[in-house]
Structure 1
Amino acid sequence: MRILFLSLFLFLSSVTWAQVQSVKGRVVDASTQDGIAYTNIGVEGTFYGTASDAEGFFELKVPDEFKKEQLFFSAVGYENLVLSIPELLKKSFSSIQLKEQTYSIDDVNVAAQSRVLFRVIKSASNKIPENFQKGPIGYQVYYSESKQIGNDPEQKREAIVEMTDETGYSSPSITDGFKNRNFQVTEVKRNFESYSIPSGKTGFEELSEMDLVRLANGILDDDLLNDYDLQLENVSQFNGDSVWIISYKTHEANLAHTGDYYATQLDGKLYISQNNYEILRNECVIKSSKNNPHNRSLASNRNEQTQVNYHLTATYKPFEGKYALSYLDCDKTYLDTQNRTVSYSRKASVLSLTKNPKRLAGKDYFENAEYVADFWNSFKRPQ
């Protein structure tokens, strides 16, 4: 009987191993071998992926359906890299070598190229009302967040969020977005008890404000565009589109240019379609001396979050011929008041988009929905 049990255990273990394997490694600068923090790592053509940590290390579990696909690596200031998942799975640990982006053109060409890129971004910004969905529109969103303080157990929360936008992308701005976007948490699941107001607060609103196209702020603000240094990183394919990949940075690291009240550095990338100047993706790395825990855009006279570093991504895809938000994420680290390192990750995937939804009133800054086991047991999480 013991032999039978052991055989069954080994068989089940081998089945589990066959179903889920992991790609592990470290993303490093090919020249210096230093780790590259917050590298975007994902299965091509999907939203399934992860990001490297502050030292460049990563681990990505690969479900069966992605084992024959390609894995892309994207970091600000480096050339994109695409590798075969089957080849990576053969290794117990991979050193992913990214080459620093270089430009072999003279100063005159740099200046000329810069003017072209300014026109590309300005055209993309001006064409947002034409290229993106007008309101009223409604989103159903799968939202997840996790927080780990020092070596304490990780706190995880998942939610279904209904969000409505009365004007959509017809008048993109910070004030229009705040006025016309409302959201409600309808389902929730967490692995911790919520006894207080702070523990019930989600980071969904701040994450939703990282929808650069909806707010048309920062790099998409015509009045600020000249304050950014632009470089053409590549002309490449992205989700079937031919795109300009434009890197940007600014020495004016203030609230208007970064969306962060205490920012000290910003480096980003914009992916803009050559088809009709549709903005397909924005990603950036931001460093900040501190953050207000309620929202990065607010001032604070306390030091609840210091030495802040985070990487954010926003992607867009077409719905019935016009583009709209598809995915957001933000991976953040900071020191709390006890000098402990806190890792805070948030992701939002749009499950569906509808036109003329029932209007929501107000914003659910705090979740208080009941846990419904039947819903979560049958819910299929987006990949």
Structure 2
Amino acid sequence: MRNLLISFILLFSLPAVAQLQVLKGRVVDSSTQAGVAYTNIGVEGTFYGTASDAQGFFELKIPEEYKNDQLFFSAVGYQNQMLPIPDLLKKDFLKIALAEQTYNIEDVDIAAHSRVLFRIIKTAAKNIPANFHQGPLGVKFYYEEETKPNNDSTEQKREAVVELYDETAYRSPSITDAFNKRNYQFSQVKKNFESYSIPTGKTGFDELLEMDIARLSNGILNEKLLNNFDLKLENISQFNGDSVWIISYKTSKTDLAHTGDYYATKYDGQIYISQNNYEILRNECVVEASRNNPHNRSLATTSQDQNQVSYHYTAVYQPQNGKYFLSYLDCDKTFVDVDNQQTTYSRKASALGITTSPVKISGKDYFEDETYVESFWKSFERPE
């Protein structure tokens, strides 16, 4: 009883600890009320934020220092929205309605407006060798992938440490250079299934790497293709004291050259470019395709393994020693398989560190059969 009384006194005599307040809600289309998937949600002027899930639901913890700031909502194909955090904190559950972004080709200013945006993107593409690390470059990634069949099958999960060797890095960005000069190997793996065959041993790391738009300099960053994109300045935001252009883009030419997907039917994106030296900070896309080759979205196929495909991917770039490099990639994908079952998978790669004196790697681990090392995973700290 005495110990209980002491604990009670201590509890009420300790100074109050600031609690994180949590915002919960759903982002919806203002017209259809359907959830808006993968909406960027963040505190204006910072990199702090989250994204809505495939159904538009989200949850965000608000630190004390941000409780009086503004929260922005940005989704590909929709108008941005900015709301005061104090007002949002008053509600138990939020419903954020976004209006669809329209492109009015009748607007007399659209031609001049587009020319400015074209120049920004062309300059950003041209400045990639100057703004990004040149090779040789080594990057160590924490990689995770989850496959979730919408049936009774068990969810499969693979975690790994992947070492990437890039002989030239961003010195000569192109699809061909990236394929020829980048190799990688899986050094540590933890998974809840056995790699007893080629399909189960196959990884999706190579396809994920192809979404590094700065390294491949493809799609919107290919000057020969740029005129086939519709551009729109969505916002100018402050990030760490630097202004950033947020430019949305889409194209009706959904072939392999423009989208990186052999069977794409829709390709909408947003790219973040610094006003400082035209550094590319972030790129994200929403893609729909009639089908995909299960080995890589860029390949042709006659199989029915992936039909009615929809996916969203993001690439993020950060500086180290004054030069930028790929720091994060993710892709969330949904498709209907040959048995007419819907399947969802998620792939993510987070950089753990880089080196400009890497050990050369030959070849690519398209398949892995690494042995699980318990001691490594017990001490390994996963990035947030």
Measured in 1, the distance between the counterparts of 2:207 and 2:380 equals 25
Counterpart position of 1:123: 123
Per-residue CA deviation, residues 98-127 of structure 1 (Å, 9 max, x unaligned), is 244468997221110011111111111111
Report percent identity of matched pairs: 63
Report what 1:310 is aligned to.
311
Partner of 2:348: 347
Structure 2 CA distance for aligned equivalents of residues 24 and 342 of structure 1: 26
Does structure 2 retain, via aligned residues, the 8 Å contact 1:335–1:341?
yes
Deviation per residue, 1:327-359 (Å, 9 max, x gap): 111111000000111001111111101102111
Q: Which residue in the other structure is 2:256 paired with?
A: 255
The alignment partner of 1:95 has SS state of strand
- Between stretches 320-329 and 186-195, larger displacement belongs to 186-195
Identify which range, 75-84 or 243-252, moves more after superposition: 75-84
Change beyond 3 A, Cα 1:278–1:24:
same
The separation in 1 between residues aligned to 2:262 and 2:274, in whole angstroms, is 31
Letter in 2 for 1:178: F
Q: Which amino acid aligns with 1:165?
A: D
Corresponding residue for residue 33 of structure 1: 33
Kindly state the Cα deviation for residue 375 of structure 1 after the two structures are TM-superposed: 1.7
Equivalent position SS for 2:109: helix
Which structure 1 residue ranges, 5 or more long, are not aligned? 5-17
Shift of 1:156: 1.3
- Identify unmatched segments of 5+ residues in structure 2: 5-17
Query: Judging changes above 3 Å, is the alpha-carbon distance between structure 1 residues 21 and 109 closer, same or farther for their aligned structure 2 residues?
Result: closer
| Secondary structure in 2 matching 1:123 | helix
Equivalents in 2 of 1:372, 1:93: separation in Å?
43
1:49-82 deviation line (CA, Å, top 9, x unaligned) = 44421x42x3447599999698653310223446
Matches within 5 A, 1:146-161: 146-151=146-151, 152-161=153-162
Structure 1 residue identity aligned to 2:27: V
Q: How many residues align?
A: 365
TM-score (norm 2): 0.86
Rounded to whole Å, the distance in 2 between the matches of 1:190 and 1:312 is 23
CA RMSD of aligned residues (A): 2.8
What secondary structure is seen at the aligned counterpart in 1 of 2:78? coil
CA gap 1:236/1:369 in 2 versus in 1, 3 angstroms: same
CA 1:242–1:21 in 2, change beyond 3 Å: closer, same or farther? closer
Match of 2:9 in 1: none
> Aligned partner of 2:329: which letter?
L
Deviations for 1:3-53, whole angstroms, at most 9, x for unmatched residues?
x9xxxxxxxxxxxxx999975432112344232123234677558744421
> Residue 43 of structure 2 contacts residue 66 of structure 2 at CA under 8 Å; is this kept in 1?
no
| Distance in 1 of aligned mates of 2:221 and 2:113 | 18
192-201 vs 258-267, greater mean Cα deviation: 192-201
Report what 2:274 is aligned to: 273
The separation in 2 between residues aligned to 1:34 and 1:338, in whole angstroms, is 27
Q: Which residue of 1 aligns with 2:10?
A: none
Matched residue, 2:331: 330
